[in-house]
Amino acid sequence: MANAREVKLRIKSVKNIAQVTRALQAVSASRVRKAMDTMFSTRPYANKAWQVLTHVARQPGRENLHPLLTKRADVKNVIVIMISGDRGLAGPYNSNIIKYTFEKFGKYEVPAQFISIGRKGTELLHRRGMNIMADFRDLPAEPSFVDVSAIGRLAVDEFLSGNADEVYLMYTDFVNMVKQDPVMKKLLPLEYETEVGLVEAEFGARKDGASASYLYEPGQTEILDEIIPRFTALQVFQAVLESFASEHASRMVAMKSATDNATELAGLLQLEYNKARQLGITSEILDIVGGAEALAK
């Protein structure tokens, strides 16, 4: 039988844990709100930009339009950009995206190089002996486009210089507070079939069947050189924002259930403590009564 003092100590430590997790939960709650705000406010732009890119990629003769749109016949190398968190205690957030990445690229048919965002992901890639070409960590809590655009540019440069023939983006899509899904997006060369339900007006669907190609102002090369790398970087930026919001949401939910569990456990221990204490008192009384009766004889 556990003695009362031991149980009391355990209650104290469980309550301490509950306090810590409750604080973490509160912090995550405020962070997730901020992250959601940023994410939702940049979503329209990112979606429209992606839409424009797919329109561009849908044009007839896309193969020769721009190197970033050109599919390579022979894929010898791929780059995988994986976005995870810097910190743990975020429920299944880190393990989900990492597991999904290994599922896809753990044994890929061609060599895969990784660009890792987030300390947790980097650590695991290291442990598994993966080839990490760049790792980014400690991004600001509210990143701006400038903070992240370098990552997108790096991917674009590697693709253009021929070090990689395809670039994939692995991140966590924020669906809502309790649902975040790891997703894979092919970043380069641009896939134009992938997106669902975004093209209301099919490209070039003019009733008179006029030319389906764009007119460009100033010129085609100037525009495409400007927008394709930039919008690609923008996709990375949006993915980072989605992942951040997902991380905070996931941590908040995990911390909430940890707090609940700790509170419940504290309750059970309290009962046990009460029992132990009563038992102690009963046996003391028995002692005294026994002693008194012995004296009376």
Structure tokens at 142: 């509210």
Residue from 3, 16, 41, 131 binding other proteins (CB under 8 A)? 41
Positive or negative, the Cα torsion across 207, 211, 214, 216? Answer: negative
Contact 120, 86 (CB under 8 A): yes
State which of residues 222, 264, 284, 287 lies at the interface with other proteins (CB under 8 A). Answer: 222
Angle value at C-alpha 96, between 95 and 100, nearest 5 degrees: 115
53 vs 80 by CB, closer to other proteins:
53
Q: CB-wise, 58 or 256, nearer to other proteins? A: 58
Q: Shortest approach of other proteins to residue 34 CB, angstroms?
A: 14
Nearest-angstrom CA–CA distance, 241 and 151? 14
* 218, 293, 294, 297: residue in contact with other proteins (rule CB under 8 A): 218
Query: Is 55 an interacting residue with respect to other proteins (CB under 8 A)?
Result: yes
Binding span for other proteins by CB under 8 A among 16-24, 80-88, 149-157, 218-226: 218-226
Taken in order 225, 231, 236, 241, the sign of the CA dihedral is positive
Based on the shown chain and the rule CB under 8 A, indicate whether residue 1 belongs to the binding site for other proteins. Answer: no
CA distance 281 to 297: 25
Residue whose CB is less far from other proteins, 36 or 269: 36
Per rule CB under 8 A, is residue 42 in the interface with other proteins?
yes
Scanning 5-13, 63-71, 202-210, 264-272 for contacts with other proteins by CB under 8 A, the matching segment is 202-210
Looking at the Cβ atoms of 51 and 263, the one nearer to other proteins is 51
Check binding of 261 to other proteins (CB under 8 A).
no
Please, what is the minimum distance in Å from the beta carbon of residue 202 to other proteins? 9
Q: Report the SS3 class of residue 134.
A: strand
**Distance of closest approach, residue 171 Cβ to other proteins, in angstroms:** 19
Instruction: Give the separation between CA 225 and CA 15, rounded to whole angstroms.
Output: 59
Q: What is the CA radius of gyration of the chain?
A: 29
Joined together, the tokens standing for residue 242 give 């989605």
Own/partner contacts of 204-207, CB < 8 Å, gap of 24 or more, are: 204/59
Torsion of CA 290, 294, 295, 296, to 10 degrees: 100
Query: Smallest gap, in angstroms, from Cβ of residue 230 to other proteins?
Result: 9
In single-letter form, the type of residue at position 27 comes to V
> Is 206 a residue that touches other proteins (CB under 8 A)?
yes
Using DSSP's 3-state secondary structure scheme, residue 202 falls into: coil
| Contact status: 146 vs other proteins (CB under 8 A) | no
The residue from 134, 227, 265, 266 that contacts other proteins (CB under 8 A) is 227
The residue (of 129 and 218) whose beta carbon lies closer to other proteins is 218
CB of 101 to other proteins, least distance (A): 29
Distance, in Å, from the CA atom of 257 to the CA atom of 92, rounded to the nearest integer, reads 13
- Report d(CA 250, CA 180) in Å as an integer: 8
Binding region for other proteins (CB under 8 A)? 41-42, 44-45, 48-49, 51-52, 55-56, 145, 200-201, 203-206, 210-218, 222-223, 226-227
